[in-house]
Amino acid sequence: MTIVVTGATGNVGRPLVTLLAAAGLPVRAITRTATASHFPDGVQVVDSVFDALTGASAVFLNSRALGEQLAEAVASARRSGVTQLVALSAINVDDDFSRQPSRVRGDRNKEVEQVCIDSGLDWVSLRPSVFATNFVGMWSAQIRAGDVVSGPYAAASSAPIVEADIAAVAAQALSTDELVGQQISLTGPQAFTNTELVEIIGTVLGRPLRYVEVAPDIVRQRFVGLGLGADFADAYTAMLADAVDKPALVTREVEKITGRPATSFAQWVSDNRQILTG
């Protein structure tokens, strides 16, 4: 059972490769930016998904990593005898694209899910909520600069998931047939507002951090200045506006599938305080 992992150096792909290798499964990691030394012993590093499919039984599909090659890669997988596909999608996959900021960064969550469903192969679609590491990019610079984190919509709710938990579910989906045919919404164990998330970070770091709501136009200017672009800013603020005073969905799928509770946001902050504070 050889498993191909696209996006192998990403926040989900890297722990996924590690879990599969630890389970003794043959893994081919698709990346152009790493060598075998970046992965556990025995992992085969390949720079093209098309060169990795022969003899493979399952493929983990990261649409951002595959880009325009997504549909072609799935077709090639089918021709090569792959029997199972696991798609990395998102919990907001069915929302209007104008409220999906990840699309601006290259994610094609709707497309990767649909191409798997249409492939004729066994498939699983993982629909995780917002990644915990997203808050590093959003807030770490402000945390390093002081005790105020400013942003839009203080009351917007989310249930951040730790990427290692997504990887644990993906490993189960790739190595068994237990989850075939399912679209699985994955979340952290609790929903929080932006205000509460910043308070949690402050508590773990032992600092009086607080969230200050600012107008979306100011956030837009900030994102443009950071190089994220106006389209990303508009989609991000629209997504948050839709989540104001509406507790985010919380599921127990991580615990049900892996046999352990999903990692709390506070635990993730404790484990990653260095990348938040520099």
Q: What is the CATH number of the domain that holds 267?
A: 3.40.50.720
Place of tokens 């951040």: 160
Whole-model pTM? 0.96
Tell me, rounded to whole angstroms, the distance of Cα 21 from its chain centroid.
20
The structural domain count of the chain equals 1
Whole-number pLDDT of residue 185: 98
Percent share of the chain, pLDDT over 90: 89
Mean pLDDT of the chain: 96
The residue among 136 and 16 whose pLDDT is bigger is 16
In the predicted model, is pLDDT for residue 35 greater than 90?
no
Q: Does 223 score more than 90 pLDDT?
A: no
Number of residues that make up the chain: 278
Q: What is the pLDDT of residue 259?
A: 97
User: Which pLDDT score, from 0 to 100, does residue 278 have?
Assistant: 77
CA separation for the pair 231, 220 (Å, rounded): 9
Residue 13 confidence class, pLDDT cut points 50, 70, 90: very high
Q: Residue 98 and residue 100: Cα distance in Å, rounded?
A: 6
Query: Of 129, 135, 102, which Cα lies nearest the Cα of 275?
Result: 135
Residue carrying the six token digits 């100011």: 218
Per-residue b or e along 228-264, where b marks 16 or more CB atoms closer than 10 Å to that residue's CB: beeebbbbbbbbbeebeeeebeebebbeebeeeebbb
222 falls in which pLDDT band (50, 70, 90)? confident
pLDDT at residue number 166: 98
What is d(CA 85, CA 203) in angstroms, rounded to the nearest whole number?
A: 41
What's the mean pLDDT in 169-174? Answer: 98
The residues with which 193 forms a beta bridge, in sequence order, are: 157
Q: Angle CA(88)–CA(195)–CA(159) in degrees, nearest 5?
A: 25
- Which domain range does residue 167 map to? 2-277
260: CB partners within 8 A, 6+ apart? 254
